[in-house]
Amino acid sequence: MTRRATERFCAQHLAAVEISVGVPEGPLSSKSTNVRVKCPIDPSHSVWLHALQRHVKRCQASKEVIRSPWHVPDINLVRFGLDPSVTSGAPITFEDYQKCIAFVDKFYQNEIQGTKYTEIPLRQLQHEGLERRLNELSNKKHAIQQGSLISAVEDAGLLLCENSFVEFGAGRGELSRYLNQAILHKYNNEPTHPPSFLLIDRCGMRMKFDSKIVKDSEDLGSKHPTTPIVHRYKIDIKDLDLRKEDNNQLRRRSDAKGSLVAISKHLCGAATDLTIQCLMNYYRNRNDNDEDKMDLAGIVIALCCRHRCSYSSYPLEYLTKHMNIDPRGFEILCKMSSWAVCGRRHQNRDTSDSGKSEMRVNEDDAELDADSGDSNDEDNQDGQAHVSGLSISRREEIGMKVRSIIDYARVRKLEDQGFQVELIRYVDKAISSENVCLVAMPIQK
């Protein structure tokens, strides 16, 4: 959503500042047009008061959840009894930060420094099948990211027309659309099998690309008589059991010996961990004698928003070697990860950073900006030092360490399940500060 020139946040995130909790009684006044209220059906989002009645009739949250075999509540949570979307909201003190920073420095030095997690290689690639799209765009940011991710899929040997691609956190399905175009280019518009796509998202999306995946094959001259197979599930990943997906969405025709490939572009925090758990449940418990269930061939996921990780879904067992982390401690740890990516104004850089280019404020991190220190070394805009007592450069250092630690546990979990895992920087930081991609392949026995 766009932001009004007079507001700091977009309409949806005005709730982060102030929002009416209830609905005023009586007729709406002229002033009501600028009042937002929480949706009475689903308080996680808000709506303009004057549009409330119309919104309630159309709210996607009011639709009954379809109970299908693959819908198993909370199956991908690793700790129960905690809402993955709720944090304590309590202010973090100087002492809280000092305790957590001590853990970060110790863990990083003992487990990560000098290992493959220290220097993540930059591998920004461009796929030939997307050159036409790249040339047509003025803002090439997303196309560059998609091209590099799809190239990572191909480098891993996963860009095969017989495979089935599951896009987690699919949104409009844009990544799947251009992956289909890349497949057509690879096979010179003569794929031996029509690829299939399963799009997973918990929100009902407008302007979806589902039908365009099929239309692209026709427009680009695919010579295969069957169009791509495209299905979409509206479901929270925490409730998705791919093992029980039994209504032909993942099944292939008997002559296609394809495998399952999991893809995603920017899975926010907890969604990444839920996806990994979902795939491990599928991988571990799949019956080898069940010809209808495909092998999991690989995982290519672009990581982001580590500040939105959840205690109920994250593999904490890999971090507790150095400290027992409770929900509050994990909340602080995740918050510090934002120190690595939150933008700040050029004039507020450390003097040691004066020669570097100005960091761009990421839209995703805008509301974290005030918490994380849009300030210089001594003072923020209100003339007060950051509560942690740390300089900007030191906070950035800690933030990068936390990002490495959070990704470390994810890699360890996949390795323990029999996967070969690599982290790469799939685009330069100038394109996106959230630029790390996880590529995992099962080790052949």
**168 in the same domain as 27:** no
Let me know if residue 209 belongs to a domain: yes
> Which among 147, 123, 122, 150 is positioned nearest to 135, based on CA atoms?
147
- For residue 216, tell me if it sits in a domain: yes
Please tell me the predicted confidence (pLDDT) of residue 5: 82
Q: Is it the case that residue 66 has pLDDT exceeding 80?
A: no
In a domain, 364, yes or no: no
In 121-183, the DSSP E strands lie at: 164-168
188: left (phi over 0), alpha (psi -120 to 50) or beta: left
Query: Considering its fold, how many domains does the chain have in total?
Result: 2
In a domain, 241, yes or no: yes
CATH number, position 167: 3.40.50.150
Residue 82: pLDDT over 80: no
Is residue 300 located within the same domain as residue 218?
yes
Q: Are residues 165 and 252 in the same domain?
A: yes
Euclidean distance between CA atoms 399 and 395, whole angstroms: 6
Mean pLDDT of the chain: 79
Place 15 in a pLDDT band, splitting at 50, 70 and 90: low
Query: Domain for residue 2, yes or no?
Result: no
Do 149 and 40 reside in the same domain of the chain? no
Q: Is residue 196 part of a domain?
A: yes
| In a domain? residue 43 | yes
Q: 328 vs 82, which has greater pLDDT?
A: 328
| Domain match, 26 and 133 both | no
Is 241 a residue whose pLDDT tops 50?
yes
Residues 284 and 137 in one domain: yes
Give yes or no for a contact between 417 and 280, defined as CB atoms under 8 angstroms apart.
Answer: yes
Sign of the CA dihedral running 440, 407, 304, 376: negative
- Confidence (pLDDT) at 240: 92
Q: Which domain holds residue 177?
A: 128-307+433-442
pLDDT at 286: 63
pLDDT at 422 over 90: yes
Q: Determine the 3-state secondary structure of 117 from DSSP.
A: coil
**Residue 184 resides in a domain:** yes
32/148 same-domain check = no
Strands 229-234, 196-201: pairing is parallel
As a dihedral over the C-alpha atoms of residue 251, residue 254, residue 257, residue 263, rounded to 10 degrees, the angle is: -20
Specify the 3-state DSSP secondary structure of 75. Answer: coil
Question: Predicted confidence band at 207 (pLDDT cuts at 50, 70, 90)?
Answer: confident
In this structure, are 141 and 287 located in the same domain? Answer: yes
Rounded Cα distance between 433 and 422, Å, is 19
β-pair partners for 201:
234
* pLDDT band (50, 70, 90) for residue 41: confident
290-325: per-residue pLDDT in tens? Answer: 556 788 999 999 999 999 999 999 999 999 877 788
Q: Is 300 helix (H, G, I), strand (E, B) or coil?
A: strand
Query: Do 58 and 133 reside in the same domain of the chain?
Result: no
Burial class (CB within 10 angstroms; exposed 0-12, middle 13-18, buried 19+) of 183: buried
The H-assigned helical ranges of 156-269 are: 174-186, 210-219
* Cβ–Cβ under 8 Å, residues 150 and 179: yes
Confidence (pTM): 0.78
Nearest CA to 408 among 98, 123, 104, 133? 104
